[in-house]
């Protein structure tokens, strides 16, 4: 499944039609997204293979309130991961989130007070991805149970229970740990729910020109003096200065903590955080634990995320918000349960350094990973759709959006009606990940508007043969077209031309805008 893809109206039409009729709270039978059909989960009260029942009594489903440093940095055995979402975010399901460090070098949550999360209606948001969720819970009236999530800014659109009619209330705390509370007690309830999350969280956008000074005072973390003293030594060791651009700081942090290896610690200063950072030894929880303390001491908001199989981090970036960063891990095998008939969410490769120690590990679905098909484990770089790149080919090779375009020209060599295509406006802030609206028109050579013509919008650097796809649309009344999209997060900083392309068919020639 290709994550960095902006759906056109046809993809989400059924979902949006349903939302207009019913509003928030209800579930559609299914919808199409990213070229994949995503039906509503049909799970009943029978558990899927290895599926736990979330309850207060089951320790395996409890939320962690602290992460204590440990020195067992050896290779882990087989890890087991239970799929909750479709598309699956394996292995990055959010279960426990910790966002602070105390004087004992333990990670904890600064604000454990839960606030109610209201259901929100579905909207046509090209900068969000939709996910189905399905969990088994053992409810007690008024008792809050942990609910897995896909992102800190996750929005819940609706839910359904088996047995039907059980009222559920959703909430989350200051570290964006989600929870669900039932209005009555039952030994077993199946909760099906529909959520969405912003694409920026998965695609690691770090706008240029930012520094730690751009972090608002209200968001800047505070660490105990004892922690700050040790962390400052680590900052000097990693060559990090608070005055550096934020993207360079993150590159240095990610490069160092992704280069960890399993094995015994090389030093013993009496402080496990320092020993982990200096030795660069440990598995996913050690990398993430040490990363978060190092970032917090710089004044950069960061979180430590865990589930039953993996630990990773989140960092708050100005202009962007929370982004997910994986630091890798070390395990002999990752066994994935419940992935059958589900797609897998594979974002674009992040822009951070990838040392050799990080290249082959289970968090990238490489190595010994069972329970996923070869198709589910395939690479993340999209071949088509929003953010994909292609190169200009020879003239006359245009066969429509998704094909390799030929040399930009207003006239094609194929017979048919000559088409005139224009881009009239392109409104955007210019920041990666931000909204962008493109309008234009398409007519024949006599100026007669053409209705129902497919139009593909692309970015092109002047003089370059490389194109970046923004999306597809169709002309309507008056030959006008409109595309609401976002600037791809993978696009390099620079100046681009916005160009439009319409493919040839039996009646019309292909055409490019000037």
State whether 132 and 240 are in the same domain: no
Higher pLDDT, 228 or 14: 228
Does this model's pTM top 0.85? My answer is no
87 lies in some domain:
no
- Listed residues 370, 405, 434: the one ending a domain: 370
Indicate which CATH number applies to the domain containing 440: 2.60.40.10
State whether 206 and 185 are in the same domain: no
State whether 208 and 128 are in the same domain: no
Q: Is pLDDT of 395 > 80?
A: no
Residues 6+ apart with CB under 8 A from 179: 114, 144, 145, 146, 147, 170, 171, 172, 173
State whether 188 and 208 are in the same domain: no
- How many Å separate Cα 158 from the centre of its chain? 20
- Listed residues 339, 370, 401: the one ending a domain: 370
Owning domain of residue 342: 202-370
Band of the pLDDT at 398, cuts 50, 70, 90?
very low
Band of the pLDDT at 13, cuts 50, 70, 90?
low
State whether 349 and 269 are in the same domain: yes
State whether 364 and 425 are in the same domain: no
Give the strand order in the sheet containing 331-337: 76-82, 331-337, 369-370
101 lies in some domain:
no
> What is the average per-residue pLDDT within 218-226?
96
Band of the pLDDT at 208, cuts 50, 70, 90?
confident
79 lies in some domain:
no
State whether 17 and 124 are in the same domain: yes
* Percent of the chain whose pLDDT exceeds 90: 55
Taking only the tens place, the pLDDT of each residue in 423-432 is 999 998 888 7
What total number of domains does the chain contain?
Answer: 3
Higher pLDDT, 385 or 243: 243
Taking only the tens place, the pLDDT of each residue in 458-494 is 999 988 888 888 888 889 989 999 988 878 877 888 8
State whether 167 and 207 are in the same domain: no
Rounded to the nearest 10 degrees, the angle between the axes of helix 246-258 and helix 225-238 is 90
State whether 19 and 118 are in the same domain: yes
- Listed residues 166, 181, 201: the one ending a domain: 201
Q: pLDDT value at position 405? A: 40
**Main-chain dihedrals φ then ψ at residue 432, nearest 5 degrees:** -60, 135
Taking only the tens place, the pLDDT of each residue in 23-58 is 677 788 887 776 678 888 999 999 998 999 999 888
Contact 470, 496 (CB under 8 A): no
């Amino acid at each position: 499944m290709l994550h960095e893809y902006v759906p056109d109206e046809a993809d989400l039409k059924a979902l949006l039609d349903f939302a207009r009729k019913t509003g928030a709270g209800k579930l559609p039978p299914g919808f199409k997204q990213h070229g994949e059909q995503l039906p509503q989960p049909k799970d009943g009260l029978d558990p899927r293979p290895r599926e736990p029942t979330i309850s207060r009594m089951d320790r395996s489903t409890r939320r962690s309130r602290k992460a204590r440093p440990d020195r067992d940095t050896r290779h882990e055995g087989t890890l087991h991961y239970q799929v909750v979402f479709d598309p699956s975010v394996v292995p990055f399901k959010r279960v426990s989130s910790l966002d602070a460090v105390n004087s004992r070098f333990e990670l904890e949550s600064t604000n454990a007070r839960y606030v109610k999360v209201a259901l929100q209606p579905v909207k046509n948001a090209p900068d969000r991805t939709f996910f189905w969720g399905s969990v088994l819970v053992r409810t007690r009236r008024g008792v809050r149970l942990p609910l897995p999530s896909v992102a800190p800014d996750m929005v819940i659109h609706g839910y359904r229970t088996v047995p039907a009619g059980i009222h559920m209330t959703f909430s989350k705390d200051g570290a964006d740990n989600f929870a669900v509370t039932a209005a009555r007690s039952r030994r077993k309830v199946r909760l099906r729910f529909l959520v969405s999350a912003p694409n920026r969280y998965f695609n690691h956008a770090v706008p240029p020109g930012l520094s730690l000074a751009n972090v608002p005072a209200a968001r800047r973390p505070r660490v105990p003096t004892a922690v700050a003293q040790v962390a400052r030594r680590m900052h000097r060791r990693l060559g990090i200065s608070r005055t550096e651009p934020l993207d360079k700081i993150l590159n240095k942090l990610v490069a160092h903590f992704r280069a960890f290896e399993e094995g015994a610690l090389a030093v013993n200063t009496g402080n496990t955080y320092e020993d982990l950072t200096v030795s660069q030894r440990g598995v996913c929880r050690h990398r993430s634990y040490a990363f978060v303390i190092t970032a917090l001491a710089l004044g950069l908001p960061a979180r430590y995320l865990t589930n039953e199989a993996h630990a990773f981090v989140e960092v708050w970036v100005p202009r962007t918000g929370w982004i997910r960063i994986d630091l890798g891990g070390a395990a002999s095998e990752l066994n994935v349960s419940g992935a059958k008939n589900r797609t897998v969410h594979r974002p674009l490769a992040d822009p951070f350094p990838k040392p050799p120690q990080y290249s082959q590990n289970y968090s990238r679905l490489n190595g010994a990973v069972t329970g996923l098909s070869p198709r589910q484990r395939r690479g993340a770089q999209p071949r088509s759709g929003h953010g994909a790149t292609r190169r200009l080919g020879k003239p006359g090779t245009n066969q429509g959006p998704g094909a390799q375009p030929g040399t930009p020209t207003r006239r094609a060599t194929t017979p048919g009606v000559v088409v005139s295509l224009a881009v009239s406006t392109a409104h955007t802030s210019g920041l990666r990940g931000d909204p962008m609206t493109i309008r234009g028109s398409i007519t024949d050579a006599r100026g007669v508007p053409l209705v129902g013509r497919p139009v593909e919008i692309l970015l092109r650097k002047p003089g370059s043969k490389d194109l970046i796809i923004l999306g597809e649309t169709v002309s309507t009344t008056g030959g006008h077209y409109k595309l609401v999209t976002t600037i791809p997060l993978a696009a390099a900083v620079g100046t681009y031309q916005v160009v439009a392309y319409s493919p040839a068919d039996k009646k019309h020639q292909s055409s490019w805008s000037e």
